[in-house]
Structure 1
Amino acid sequence: MTSPETFHGWLGHDSTAAKGNLSWQPFTPKTFAETDIDIKISHCGICGTDIHTLRSGWGPTHYPICVGHEIVGHVVRAGSSASAQKFSLGDRVGVGAQAASCLKEDCDECARGMEQHCPKGFVGTYNGKYPDSGYWSMGGYADYVRVPAHFAIKIPDGVKSEDAAPMMCGGITVYAPLKNNGAGPGKRVGIVGLGGLGHFGVLFAKAMGCAKVVAISRRRNKEEDARAMGADEYIATSEDEKWERKHSRTLDLIVSTVSSPDMPLSGYLRLLRTNGEFIQVGAPEDILPAISAFALIAKGCKIGGSQIGGPKEIEEMLQFAAEKGVKPWVEQRPMKQANPSVVDMEDGKARYRYVLVNHDHDDHAKL
């Protein structure tokens, strides 16, 4: 069991790649280090970040690029370092949106298990530059991926590969702010947006035992799905009259997954109770709407943000999902259908996460 010298993946060469103009081509991975592992990819989720990056929506993208940071597969090569040797050949592992950080003892963030906030050496799983080699990272719309072992996580036996893949970014993006802001028994939680991220928010909030879970979307067309996921109530902001007033002061915590600069932010804040919290995880390509200071002052509310999670937190999330039976709503598609799947994802057709599958690499005996 080993990996080839040349990997193959769906490469984007300019901003039109987001329109389904990816090309299956060979590329050379970063030089193998003893801290690395190579993973033979079986599954890779499609994340909204992939689309933003392919079209250079958040800033200039380094092309050519292979996106995909919801990766699951099996270890086929491991370096000699302690971090790499914790894996055995054949282990089923996942990799999320981060591939490296400085990991230095004097880095407060890395030392506290918050590698995702490392100010010195954060490298994304794709479109990130490794400072030691100058290599630009390449992601999981591919047959293999090479990453530092510190950022790979073993997948529990109780979680299927197609379910684990979208958890590596989409899942942790909402699990972390829910857990870190007290979601649980007695807490009344709202999830804004019922897309790939939002559906995870409803699933996890319900599994955490929240007293009330409210799905908040523009239209009512997803209400049936939301309630099937565990939502107790549903708010359609473009269809329900005076929804801000009707549901005023009913929620302790809101996690917003939407990426629109036109969101009714002031209305969302009205839903919070005294000392309530609004946590933004969706990242618009523009700026957030302006709000009145009194929307915060009058009730002592807080606005915050959250970014993915460190390896230990992702491991904790996967164990939680295995114990509670959290199962995302996914549609599996062959890796060869990456182009139409990217287009469908951008058009909002996913219900609620697409997962690309390398059928030749999918070893069901290891699930």
Structure 2
Amino acid sequence: MTTEDYKFEGWMGLDPSSAEGKMVWQGYEPKVWEDNDIDIKVTHCGICGSDLHTLRSGWGPTKYPCVVGHEIVGIVVRAGSKAEGIKVGDRVGVGAQNDSCLGRKGDCEECASGQENLCSKFMIGTYNGIYMNGSKSYGGYARYHRCPSHFAFKIPDEIDSADAAPMMCGGVTTYSPLKRNGCGPGKTVGIVGVGGLGHFGILWARALGADKVVGISRKASKKDEALEVGANEYIATDDDEDWMKKNAGTLDLIVCTVSSPKMPLNDYLQLLRSNGRFIQVGAPEGPLPALNVFPLIMKNIFFGGSAIGSPAEIREMLQLAADKKVKPWVMKVPMEDANKAIVDMDAGKARFRYTLCN
């Protein structure tokens, strides 16, 4: 297949109103082809909260026009002469990162150590980014996607494409901090927010062998869902009386997937044992609540953050999902209904992720 056999077109955000379900389907020029690139016929693309933030310029001015979508799964239809272990016909996934300085103009310290997601010189997002060759990156709400092969990953046969798509960002965003911060046998783990990211956190914590997983959210109404996903216990911070005092000092690790300026951050810290860890992955458009440092000081607590994951972590996550039969909660939506789906996503109607299907 040659590029004459297909064209690049997708749901284009033209201004901040596109987040209100006003994206427009139109064509665009993809990345200028290089020998390490591949073209993917998109079969599935997850909807991520990052898509909404970007469409409405919530994290800063977006480079309109913009095609969002960085939870891409599809079939390779073209592979460059230097494509890394990927050939035409392979089923692959692409996450939130499309390129880094790896192998170009000298590796940065992060890329040289296998942490390309932390590239300090040239971290390129799968959409709304500019490559070294000056091309613009366009995402997966589309028919086709072009990207460097280093940031595409073969999907194990055991994983359904609609399930694999949200793993590429939402999945690894929670897998990576859990794995890097010691989630496993002997640990009690709390996941704040039982939603698109949080339900993945519960799934991974169980798959990694944590002794106990505690779902934490505002309302008791999500308790049954959290337990069904795999949590052993549940805390409703709005509805459970004295929840902080009753659960103080019971958790080894908390991964927080929410980012509200009203969240009870200092109470969350009280849930940790001495030497516990609190990792923030929810990315706000504004500031987090003011932090009281005394819980950190008096209990030797580590407070940190995490963003997506490295290529090595994505491959590791996919294999874990295959081995442990990890099954996310996914609602399939036709690609032509993307405008309605992003509005429903913003309204909290997803249980717990939407995957667009071509």
TM-score (norm 1): 0.95
Structure 2 counterpart of 1:127: 128
Aligned ranges for residues 109-120 of structure 1 at < 5 Å? 109-120=110-121
Where do 1:288-327 residues align within 5 Å? 288-327=288-327
Q: Distance in 2 between matches of 1:29 and 1:6?
A: 9
| Cα distance in 2 for residues equivalent to 1:14 and 1:259 | 24
* Residues in 1 aligned to 2:41 and 2:259: alpha-carbon distance in whole angstroms: 32
**Per-residue deviation, residues 12-71 of structure 1 (Å, max 9, x unmatched):** 000001000001111111111111000000000000000000000000000000000000
**Once the two structures are superposed, what CA deviation does each residue of 1:284-326 show, in whole Å capped at 9, x if it has no partner?**
1001111222121111101000111111110110000000000
Q: Residue 130 of structure 2: SS of its match in structure 1?
A: coil
Structure 1 residue 85, shift from structure 2 partner: 5.0
TM-score of the superposed pair, with normalisation by structure 2: 0.98
**Which structure 2 residues correspond to residues 1-367 of structure 1 after superposition, within 5 A?**
1-3=1-3, 4=5, 6-81=7-82, 84=83, 86-104=85-103, 106-132=107-133, 134-358=134-358
CA shift, 1:2, in A, is 3.8
> Does the 8 Å contact 2:44/2:161 carry over to 1?
yes
Conserved? CA contact 1:74–1:92, under 8 Å: yes
Gaps of 5+ in 2: none
User: How far apart, in 2, do the equivalents of 1:106 and 1:148 lie?
Assistant: 16
Instruction: Please tell me whether the aligned partners of residues 259 and 288 of structure 2 are also in contact (alpha carbons under 8 angstroms).
Output: no
Tell me how far apart the structure 1 counterparts of residues 289 and 84 of structure 2 sit (CA, whole Å). 48
State the secondary structure of the residue aligned to 2:299: coil
Stretches of structure 1 lacking an aligned partner (at least 5 in a row): 359-367
Helix, strand or coil for the counterpart of 1:298?
A: helix
Structure 2 SS opposite 1:38: strand
CA deviations over 1:253-300 (Å, ceiling 9, x no partner): 000000212211001000000000000000010011112221211111
Question: Structure 1 residues 106, 75: closer, same or farther in 2, change over 3 A?
Answer: closer
Whole-angstrom CA distance in 2 between matches of 1:123 and 1:138: 11
Alignment check: 8 A CA contact 1:193 1:217 kept: yes
Deviation at 1:5, TM superposition (A): 6.1
CA distance in 2, matches of 1:170, 1:73: 17
In the alignment, the residues of structure 2 paired with residue 106 and residue 49 of structure 1 have an alpha-carbon distance, to the nearest angstrom, of 27
Query: Which amino acid in structure 1 is aligned with residue 230 of structure 2?
Result: G
What's the Cα RMSD here? 1.0
Q: Secondary structure at the match of 2:273?
A: strand
* Contact 1:73–1:93, Cα closer than 8 Å, also in 2: yes
Amino acid at match of 1:187: K
Cα distance in 2, alignment partners of residues 208 and 116 from structure 1: 22
Residue in 2 that maps onto 1:365: none
Work out the CA distance in 1 between the residues paired with 2:59 and 2:289. Answer: 17
CA displacement 1:81-104 (0-9 Å, x = unmatched): 1xx151121100000000000004
Q: Distance in 1 between matches of 2:179 and 2:93?
A: 21
Q: Secondary structure at the match of 2:213?
A: strand
Q: Shift of the alpha carbon at 1:222?
A: 1.2
- AA aligned opposite 1:203: L
Verify the 8 A CA contact 1:5 1:28 in the aligned structure 2. no
Answer whether contact 2:334 2:357 (CA < 8 A) is retained. yes
